[in-house]
Amino acid sequence: MFNWNDVVAASRFQTKLWNIARFILLHLERKPFDPEAPITALADRWLMVRLGDTVTEVTSAMEACQFDRALKAIREFSWDILADNYIELVKGRLYADDSSRDGACRALFAALDTLCRLMAPFTPHFAEECYSYLGRGSVHSSPWPTIAIEDTDAGTEGDLLVKVVSELRRYKHEKGMALNAPMGRLAVYSSPVHDDDGDAARALNACEVLWHADSPDLEKVPGEVQFNMAIVGKTLRKDAPSFMNAIRSLSPGEQQNPPDSVEIGGKIVPVPAGSFSLQYHYLEAGEKVDLLTLGDVIVTIHPTA
């Protein structure tokens, strides 16, 4: 059934694909790369695994005449995996002038080549235009792609790498930091990843990202008292400042387990339930750190020196 919303959505997706193709071609043409370079970096291996998964899903959908399912798989790979995650993760290597970019260029070439062939039945002229820049003749004379990559670790570990970088980018946003703002040292614990070839550090502009298989050695230290002013102000009114000072003067143990009342100016004042909470911070090797918890994985964020 015809629906203008589908036309608009398809147009936006085709524009996104064109922007992806232009970006890839720009970097492939910027400087020669070794087309036989081994794909060893975790992010590159992860992209190839996800590309293989996409080819399998699209092939199955096409054979079943489920064309909407095929397009959905192409769109999710192109937009979510390739554009939003992989390209953002490897930009640092793509702009490098050494051999570290070769693997990323090979992975991008394979992704664009495959996407053109997958899109050819849906957008023949568009696919032909993009494919022409790869120097491989007509996309309609090319065989249907077949990619079979057995690399389970790359899929699992790559998903974690992408998640860590995504959550740390969210952390920067919530802290009011620009995405390209420098970060200090980051440590990822209880992680199966042992090396990401520096992609996370470059993507986050961090001085370094260290991956550890063991658990962190953290010290939990009492910090500031956080007051719920909706309760304190409404209940205590003019006594609120004195109440807050009295709470701050309590020991950490009393702040964690509040007494029923406190003395203010010679009078006993009940402590309203939920009026405050004791905040904690963590130390790693004596240095205050912020914590991110991603399931069983813990990320410690050391401030910029």
Residues 212 and 250 both lie in one domain: no
Residue 148: the pLDDT is 77
Residue 305: the pLDDT is 57
Q: Is the pLDDT of residue 1 over 90?
A: no
Q: Is the pLDDT of residue 22 over 90?
A: yes
The domain spanning residue 62 has which CATH number?
A: 1.10.730.10
Residues 173 and 141 both lie in one domain: no
Q: Is the pLDDT of residue 304 over 80?
A: no
Residues 101 and 167 both lie in one domain: no
Residues 300 and 165: their CA atoms lie apart, in Å, by: 13
DSSP notation for 179-228: TTS-EEEEEEES-S----TTHHHHHHTEEEEEE-SS---EEEEEEEEEE-
Residues 25 and 145 both lie in one domain: yes
Mean pLDDT of 163-188: 93
Residues 54 and 94 both lie in one domain: yes
* Domain assignment of residue 258, given as a range: 218-283
Residues 211 and 80 both lie in one domain: no
Show Cβ contacts of residue 58 under 8 Å, excluding neighbours closer than 6 positions: 70, 73, 74, 118
Residues 90 and 172 both lie in one domain: no
Which of 126, 150, 174 is where one domain is finished? 150
Q: Is the pLDDT of residue 184 over 80?
A: yes
- What domain count does the chain have? 3
Mean pLDDT of 122-132: 96
Q: Is the pLDDT of residue 179 over 90?
A: no
Residues 130 and 85 both lie in one domain: yes
Residues 35 and 123 both lie in one domain: yes
Which of 150, 177, 195 is where one domain is finished? 150
Residues 53 and 106 both lie in one domain: yes
pLDDT tens for each residue of 235-285: 999 999 999 999 999 998 899 899 999 998 888 999 999 999 999 889 998
Residues 103 and 235 both lie in one domain: no
Which of 100, 131, 150 is where one domain is finished? 150
Mean pLDDT check: name the lowest of 112-116, 187-191, 209-213, 263-267: 263-267
pTM of the model: 0.85
Q: Is the pLDDT of residue 150 over 90?
A: no
Mean pLDDT of 33-54: 94
Mean pLDDT of 67-84: 96
Residues 15 and 142 both lie in one domain: yes
Handedness of CA 216, 220, 224, 230 (dihedral sign): positive
